[in-house]
Amino acid sequence: MNNYICSTCGVQYDATEDNPLECKICMDDRQYVPSTGQKWTTLHNLKQDGYTNEFVEVEPNLIAIKTKPQVGIGQTAYLMKTPEGNVLWDCITYIDEDTVQRIQDMGGLKAIAISHPHYYSAICEWAEIFNCPIYIHESDQEWTTRKSDHYVFWKEKSLRINSSIELINLGGHFKGSSVLLWKSDTNPEGVLLVGDTILMVPDSGWVSFMYSYPNRIPLSPNVIKNIRGMIIKYEFNRLYDAFGKSILEDGKGSVIKSADRYLKYIEIE
Ligand SMILES: [Zn+2]
Ligand SMILES: [Zn+2]
């Protein structure tokens, strides 16, 4: 029996004798199956192939973790050091002894929080190793690909998971798409980790929001208005997305003006 991993999105499935026939995440309109067809791998195979996880401290107490070379979509996970323990925002598929040791040396993980199904990766594997809960918005429960006792499916529009971290369900890309607000005495301006609920674009200081990024499917004006209406209630300065991009000044202003720009163009007749 193997926990097969979809090579395109990097999401791991419940153990089966043979690989699953299809990946439900990639069959969805928001993802794609490559023209070369559905391919599967396992964590064991990835370990044989010499992958490694790179840790970079992007600001005090915030560590970006990324697999080299790229696995699946190639997202970055972020580890936040808080007085109540470390929290991992989003997750990556690859995990090896070196990764476990480095995180244990920093005090392990108290919780994993996930923005949306594209980053479900190997969450159950990570949660078992660090014996911690996985916070996922209930609206996206149907997209989970492994059974686990570690899931905490939250229903609210926002959920505080410790004194400095709050999850906010903005919706859009997925119904459960969420962002993480990290704010404390040592970090009073606030950092927003956005997954790809909000995505940085090449135009510096601007972001966008989409139903599907690879297939270029936009969101409706009402959904953008909802996202704008939710996010305007929160204060934050810096933004980090899932692909190593950031906005380091006036992040809130960037999100609001980008929502307004989106609405301006999508509502043109
Ligand atoms: Zn997939
Ligand atoms: Zn996505």
- CA angle at residue 102 from 117 to 168, to 5 degrees? 35
Position 250 confidence tier, pLDDT thresholds 50, 70, 90: very high
Ligand nearest to the CA of 118: 2
Rounded mean pLDDT, 77-104: 98
In this predicted structure, the answer to whether residue 185 has a pLDDT above a threshold of 90 is no
Quote the pLDDT of residue 212: 97
Quote the pLDDT of residue 20: 97
Question: Model confidence over 172-184: pLDDT tens digits?
Answer: 999 999 999 999 8
Quote the pLDDT of residue 187: 87
When the pLDDT of each residue in the chain is averaged and rounded to a whole number, the result is 97
Rounded to whole angstroms, the maximal C-alpha distance in the chain is 57
C-alpha of residue 30 to centroid of ligand 1, in Å: 11
Residues near ion ligand 2 (CB < 5 Å) are 118, 196
The C-alpha atoms of residue 260 and residue 46 are separated, in whole angstroms, by: 43
C-alpha of residue 115 to centroid of ligand 1, in Å: 17
Question: Model confidence over 5-40: pLDDT tens digits?
Answer: 999 999 999 999 999 999 999 999 999 999 999 999
Structural domain count, the chain = 1
> How many Cβ atoms sit within 10 Å of the Cβ of residue 216?
8
C-alpha of residue 259 to centroid of ligand 1, in Å: 29
Question: Model confidence over 98-153: pLDDT tens digits?
Answer: 999 999 999 999 999 999 999 999 999 999 999 999 999 999 999 999 999 999 99
Rounded mean pLDDT, 72-100: 97
C-alpha of residue 40 to centroid of ligand 1, in Å: 9
Share of the chain above pLDDT 70, in %: 100
Question: Model confidence over 228-244: pLDDT tens digits?
Answer: 999 999 999 999 999 99
Q: What are phi and psi of 135, to 5 degrees?
A: -85, 120
Quote the pLDDT of residue 23: 98
- The boundaries of the domain holding residue 86 are 5-266
The CATH number assigned to the domain holding 21 equals 3.60.15.10
Rounded mean pLDDT, 254-259: 98
**Residue 12 bridge partners (DSSP):** 5
SS3 of the chain: helix, strand, coil, percent, to 5: 25, 30, 45
Q: In what order do the strands lie in the sheet with 52-59?
A: 52-59, 62-68, 77-82, 85-89, 111-113, 134-137, 151-154
C-alpha of residue 185 to centroid of ligand 2, in Å: 31
In this predicted structure, the answer to whether residue 268 has a pLDDT above a threshold of 80 is no
C-alpha of residue 83 to centroid of ligand 1, in Å: 36
C-alpha of residue 116 to centroid of ligand 2, in Å: 7
Quote the pLDDT of residue 6: 98
C-alpha of residue 92 to centroid of ligand 2, in Å: 13
Residue 101's Cβ-count burial label (10 Å; 0-12, 13-18, 19+) is exposed
Quote the pLDDT of residue 186: 82
Position 269 confidence tier, pLDDT thresholds 50, 70, 90: low
